[in-house]
Amino acid sequence: MVMFNEKTTLNPDSRTDTEPFKRLRRLRMTESFRAMVRETELSRNDFIYPLFVVPGKKVRNEIKSMPDVFQLSIDELVKECAEVKSLGIPAVILFGIPEYKDEVGSSAYDDDGIIQMAIRAIKKEVPELVVITDVCLCEYTSTGHCGIVRGNEIINDESIELLAKEALTHAQSGADLIAPSDMFDGRIKAIRNILDRNNFQNIPIMSYAAKYASGFYGPFRDAAESTPKFGDRRSHQMDPANSDEALREVEQDIIEGADIVMVKPALPYLDIVRRVKDRFAMPTAAYNVSGEYSMIKAAGRNGWIDEQRVMMETLTSIKRAGADLILTYFAKDAAKLLPTR
């Protein structure tokens, strides 16, 4: 055992008289020093920009609770994607508002569904942009639930078969990455299997692995028109109080074949992002959700905070917590502020 010798390093009396304490401020004195020792830097490559697609032409509906975010028809969506690409943002994730809804969410796996057509249009006009598709049924079911409902129960195993079918149609339409957001058990395995059986073994899956039943989704439900008609999502999304359970959820998705794991929402769950990153060392995404966005926008518009500064601080905090990828409605605004390299 090495014995600590009091007379050496840590005895305050042995320190030099000129430095009775450590001057941590030295490296904060100039912007050059601050830049040299900065631990976390945002990059455009960190961002995934969420987009909402609606039927029609020349549609650009601003979402009331989400300033500067729009529901877009496919023609407008393609223009938006070109802009996103020109800003250096590598990827978008698509959410669809379909022509029709029914109990089994048929419009989610219709070859001519809104998302399927949107993917084909983007891939034709902006082929290098990575197109990620959200896979769930809540935007497509008449109940507004993420799966098939019988009585008061959302039926797990039948629902995941439909989700797999939906994922396959996205891949067949040209999607680059599939992102199931439902939180049912076994969906990653079901989707991986159907993709592999149909020669899409190289299409990766980003799972919404630890998705919480959160009040921060409120504005999104206006945007995606996916509010449940009755009940809530607490039988499949996670209890905000739980953290160990998030690790079990993430582990299961990795075992089933997820390539990227996501924590959603981001800000109230930064501790979960850190635990997931430390435990699994997987490519990790965090969804900076609608409520997080709208709070900053609203306070910014009221002059209560400096919107740009708070936005950059927020995004930096998500990356610092361990996220490699950030899904955020701020992607375009933030990209405009980042230096071009």
Q: Which residues bind Zn ion (CB under 5 A)?
A: 136, 138, 146
Residue among 166 and 307 whose Cβ is closer to Zn ion: 166
Catalytic choice (211, 277, 297, 319): 211
Please state the closest distance from residue 146 (CB atom) to Zn ion, in A. 3
Residue among 51 and 129 whose Cβ is closer to Zn ion: 51
Please state the closest distance from residue 182 (CB atom) to Zn ion, in A. 5
Dist. CA 231–CA 188, nearest whole Å: 25
Q: How far is CA 82 from the centre of its chain?
A: 21
Residue among 122 and 136 whose Cβ is closer to Zn ion: 136
**What contacts 292, CB < 8 A, 6 or more positions away?**
216, 265, 266, 267, 314
| DSSP per residue, 1-39 | -PPP-TTSTT-GGGS-TT-SS--GGGGGSSHHHHHHT--
| DSSP per residue, 139-160 | TTBTT--SSEEETTEEEHHHHH
Residue among 139 and 256 whose Cβ is closer to Zn ion: 139
Please state the closest distance from residue 283 (CB atom) to Zn ion, in A. 23
Please state the closest distance from residue 126 (CB atom) to Zn ion, in A. 27
Using DSSP, state whether 214 is helix, strand or coil.
coil
Residue among 135 and 331 whose Cβ is closer to Zn ion: 135
Q: Is 264 one of the annotated active-site residues of the chain?
A: yes
Catalytic choice (264, 277, 297, 319): 264
Helix ranges restricted to H, the chain = 31-36, 74-86, 114-125, 156-173, 187-197, 218-224, 244-256, 270-280, 290-301, 307-320, 331-337
Please state the closest distance from residue 122 (CB atom) to Zn ion, in A. 22
Please state the closest distance from residue 137 (CB atom) to Zn ion, in A. 6
Q: Is 211 one of the annotated active-site residues of the chain?
A: yes
Residue 317: exposure state from Cβ atoms within 10 A (0-12, 13-18, ≥19): middle
Using an 8 Å Cβ cutoff, are 43 and 91 in contact? Answer: no
Dist. CA 212–CA 219, nearest whole Å: 16
Residue among 285 and 321 whose Cβ is closer to Zn ion: 285
* Active site residue ranges: 211, 264
